[in-house]
């Protein structure tokens, strides 16, 4: 299991941006206090700053489950995927996610195409997980 400080430091060092801890909404806090919410493991979400979106061709979030005993089986990379949402405007989206033990990174591209910039960014983000 990786601690938050180690994971965040690895991503900040590799990407050169300071990640921002996302505060949970009041509604989510209320959900967590209820019976179903108590079954979920505690999680911390760190977001890339908005000013870095152009540089990376999108934004990313690093998620760390703080009380989890998932063994480290290496990086499980789902890769970049192009998809249409089930509801709302029918515009293509590109996203990706990868997980290693209790750390996960998710990426949402600013365009609906898998671009060289998105591929480069995803390679950088998954390399952070591999280096942990």
Distance CA 9, CA 109 (A): 23
For residue 9, what pLDDT band results from cuts at 50, 70 and 90?
Answer: very high
Q: Report pLDDT for 1.
A: 86
Q: What is the DSSP letter of 52?
A: G
Q: Report pLDDT for 88.
A: 79
Q: Report pLDDT for 89.
A: 79
Q: Map residue 5 onto helix, strand or coil.
A: helix
Section 55-75 average pLDDT? 91
Residues 45 and 22: beta-carbon distance below 8 Å:
yes
Boundaries of domain holding 35 = 4-131
Q: Please tell me the total count of domains within the chain.
A: 1
To which residue do tokens 């979106």 refer? 53
Q: Report pLDDT for 52.
A: 95
What is the CA angle 100-98-87, rounded to 5?
140
Q: Report pLDDT for 31.
A: 84
Give the number of other CB atoms < 10 A from CB of residue 37: 12
65 or 25, higher pLDDT: 65
Q: What is the pLDDT of residues 98-130, one digit of tens each?
A: 999 999 999 999 999 999 999 999 999 999 999
Q: Report pLDDT for 118.
A: 97
Beta strands 103-109 and 20-21: pairing type?
A: unpaired
């Amino acid at each position: 299991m990786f601690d938050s400080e180690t994971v965040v430091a690895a991503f900040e060092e590799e990407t050169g941006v300071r990640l921002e801890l996302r505060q949970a909404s009041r509604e989510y806090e209320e959900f967590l206090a209820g019976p179903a919410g108590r079954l979920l493991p505690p999680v911390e979400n760190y977001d890339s700053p908005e000013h870095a979106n152009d540089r990376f061709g999108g934004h990313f979030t690093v998620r760390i489950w703080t009380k989890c005993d998932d063994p480290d089986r290496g990086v499980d990379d789902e890769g970049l995927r192009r998809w249409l949402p089930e509801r709302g405007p029918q515009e293509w989206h590109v996203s990706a996610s990868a997980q290693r033990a209790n750390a996960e990174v998710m990426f949402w591209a600013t365009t609906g195409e898998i671009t060289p910039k998105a591929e480069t960014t995803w390679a950088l983000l998954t390399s952070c997980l591999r280096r942990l």
